[in-house]
Structure 1
Amino acid sequence: MLQLGDEVALYSFVFVLVLLGTRSPMWSCVIAVSMYSFLAIFKFPQVPDSRARQVLSPGKGATGLGRVSAIAHRGGGHDAPENTIAAIREASKNGAEGVELDLEFTSDGVPILMHDETVDRTTNGSGPLSQICFSELSKLDAAAKHRLRDTFAGERIPTLEEAVEECIKLKLSIYFDVKGHPDEASAALSDLYRKHPVLYNTSIVCSFEPKVIYRMRQSDPDVVTALTHRPWSLSLYGDGVPRFTSPWKHKWMTLVDVLLDWAHHHFLWKLCGVSAFLVQKDFVSPDYVQYWAKRGVQVVAWTVNKEVEKQYYRELLQVNYITDSLVEDCDPHY
């Protein structure tokens, strides 16, 4: 839960910010109180800590100490074609405790596994998903551009349900990464949770978009959820390259990044009632893990691809990590 110090800091910050902008103590009080009332009325409570631990730390005991979970990113996109049944099976064979899978939709509304909005990067097809129906998508080779394309030739793009059934069979936990489509995604996932109740104790719904998580909690407040965050994500790509050539636009988005980072750490997590915070690995430290632990939130780091980094997360931080490969060092996918 949000600590008292957080409460004081949050509303004090809002009060001072509005006071500086309006020079009106009355409006500062009104807006701060309104924000407090909004959170009190519309926030979702976190799911019980015992169940969150069951999902996030299935190998740990009552003390919370024990095995750290290695989660295969996109099913382990270095070891097999990403977001495929083959990747899920390879992840299980290579010792992953769970898989992170990306949810997208075809033009005819079928929920599938796909990271991008187009099929160009990973398949032998071309075009946006919004213009490809599932019957056409199922003909594509999902291994066409993978480094092990010969080994996995002909691997197809699975439906969300096919992937979930495979994970259940292999007893893998699932991190559902939802890219957008909050209404469609929450409906599709809610149907799956009703059909497979085991998911309540073996899966978590994650997204960069707070709207997605809030909509999921509205659809089913018993689902364990997480916000995904990378500081400077609006102004910089994952490799640190600026997104915009215009200096003014870059500075503006940098400012928005600062506000978004503050909102994630002081407001949005509480509104959504998340149980975990998925953070890009370069921003995780012992103090950062402790910051969230005091709030009943577990940190999960991504994408951890070097053995020395994995050892750091296993032995020092003792937090779960998401990786592209279970078998060797590799460059990260952004």
Structure 2
Amino acid sequence: MLQLGDEVTLYSVVFVVVLLGTRSAVWTTALTVSLYVFVAVFRFPQAPADRAKHILHPARGGHGSGKVSAIAHRGGAHDAPENTLAAIREASQNGATGVELDLEFSADGVPILMHDDTVDRTTNGSGPLSKIRFADLRKLDAAAKHRLRSKYSGEKIPTLEEAVEECIRLQLTIYFDVKSHPDEAAAALKALYKKNPVLYNSSIVCSFEPKVIYRMRQSDPGVVTALTHRPWSLSHLGDGVPRFSSPWKLGWMTLLDVVLDWALHHVLWRFCGVSAFLIQKNFVSQDYVQYWANRGVEVVAWTINTKMEKEFYQEIMHVSYITDSLLEDCEPHY
């Protein structure tokens, strides 16, 4: 539930800003009330807490302990070629409670598993997905750039449907990570949920983009959803390197980062009705976990790639985590 403090802060800020801008008490009151009505009418409620808990803490055993779940990032990108059926099977064999999978689309609109919007980094092909039809994507070797490419040589780029069928067979929870294409993604996922109702109790749709989550809830309010966030992501890369050489542009994007961070934590999470918040590990603390617990939202940390970190999140933080490997320590993927 949205805390009273959140509401008071939000509408107080709006009231003061509008008042300073208009110098009119009447207009300020009218605009603030209009915003309140808009949010109240168009926001989505959270999915039932018991269903969200069942998804975030499945009964299936594995590397997670007790209340903690271990989710294989991109299917476990260190242990097998990312976003492939081989990765899903390897994650299951290695004890993952679930897998995080990236949704993208081929040039002819086929939903597939792929993290990037090009095939260059992970396959023996080259070019943007928006220019490659699925029949041609299918000819590529999805293991070509992986450290274990000889073991997984010839692994294909799977369709979203193939991946879902494999996860259902292996009883793995699915974290659908949607990078873009909100309308297409919502339509594709809605069709999958309709075909496989078990997904309502075994999957969650996640995205860095609030508009993706909002569109998903519009399409099917029964789907459990989460927002993904890494503070300073607009201005800096995952390793902390600035995205822009221009001081002016870097400063502007840093300011937008501050606005986005505030909006996600005080407005957008409620507007979308999310049940979980996936946050980059460097920003997780006990106070942060409690902040979200007070709002009925669960924290999931990423990317946890060392034995020491996993023990910390399992035994001390009691926070579920996303990892690139269920087998050994490795460098993180951002």
The question of a shared fold, defined as TM-score above 0.5 by the shorter chain, is answered with yes
Q: Is 1:246 aligned to residue 246 of structure 2?
A: yes
Corresponding residue for residue 296 of structure 2? 296
Q: After TM superposition, give the deviation of residue 26 of structure 1 in Å.
A: 3.1
Corresponding residue for residue 285 of structure 1? 285
Taking the aligned partners of 1:32 and 1:314, their CA distance within structure 2 comes to 43
Structure 1, gaps ≥5 residues long: none
Provide the secondary structure at the position in 2 that maps to 1:194: helix
Taking the aligned partners of 2:234 and 2:173, their CA distance within structure 1 comes to 30
Taking the aligned partners of 2:181 and 2:77, their CA distance within structure 1 comes to 23
Corresponding residue for residue 40 of structure 2? 40
- The answer to whether the 8 Å contact 1:59/1:66 transfers is no
Taking the aligned partners of 1:22 and 1:115, their CA distance within structure 2 comes to 46
Taking the aligned partners of 2:260 and 2:27, their CA distance within structure 1 comes to 23
Q: After TM superposition, give the deviation of residue 57 of structure 1 in Å.
A: 1.0
Counterparts of 1:205-220 in structure 2, within 5 Å, are 205-220=205-220
Provide the secondary structure at the position in 2 that maps to 1:148: coil
Cα-to-partner distance string for 1:237-262 (whole Å, 9 max, x where unaligned): 00000011100000000000000000
Corresponding residue for residue 77 of structure 2? 77
Provide the secondary structure at the position in 1 that maps to 2:168: helix
Q: Which moved more, 1:211-220 or 1:21-30?
A: 21-30
Counterparts of 1:152-191 in structure 2, within 5 Å, are 152-191=152-191
Structure 2, gaps ≥5 residues long: none
- The answer to whether the 8 Å contact 1:59/1:68 transfers is no
Taking the aligned partners of 2:43 and 2:200, their CA distance within structure 1 comes to 20
Corresponding residue for residue 229 of structure 1? 229
Work out the number of aligned pairs and report it.
330
Provide the secondary structure at the position in 2 that maps to 1:141: coil
Q: Is 1:101 aligned to residue 101 of structure 2?
A: yes
Corresponding residue for residue 31 of structure 2? 31
Q: After TM superposition, give the deviation of residue 66 of structure 1 in Å.
A: 2.3
Counterparts of 1:190-209 in structure 2, within 5 Å, are 190-209=190-209
Provide the secondary structure at the position in 2 that maps to 1:112: strand
Give the partner amino acid of 2:2.
L
Give the partner amino acid of 1:136.
D
Taking the aligned partners of 1:123 and 1:54, their CA distance within structure 2 comes to 35
Q: What's the C-alpha RMSD, in Å, of the aligned pairs? A: 1.1
Q: After TM superposition, give the deviation of residue 25 of structure 1 in Å.
A: 3.1
Provide the secondary structure at the position in 1 that maps to 2:100: strand
Corresponding residue for residue 306 of structure 1? 306
- TM-score using structure 2 length: 0.97
Cα-to-partner distance string for 1:140-197 (whole Å, 9 max, x where unaligned): 0000000000010000100000000000000000000001101100000000001000
Taking the aligned partners of 2:296 and 2:286, their CA distance within structure 1 comes to 15
Give the partner amino acid of 1:55.
I
Provide the secondary structure at the position in 1 that maps to 2:301: strand
- The answer to whether the 8 Å contact 1:59/1:67 transfers is no
Q: Is 1:315 aligned to residue 306 of structure 2?
A: no
User: Percent same amino acid among aligned pairs?
Assistant: 75
- The answer to whether the 8 Å contact 1:122/1:143 transfers is yes
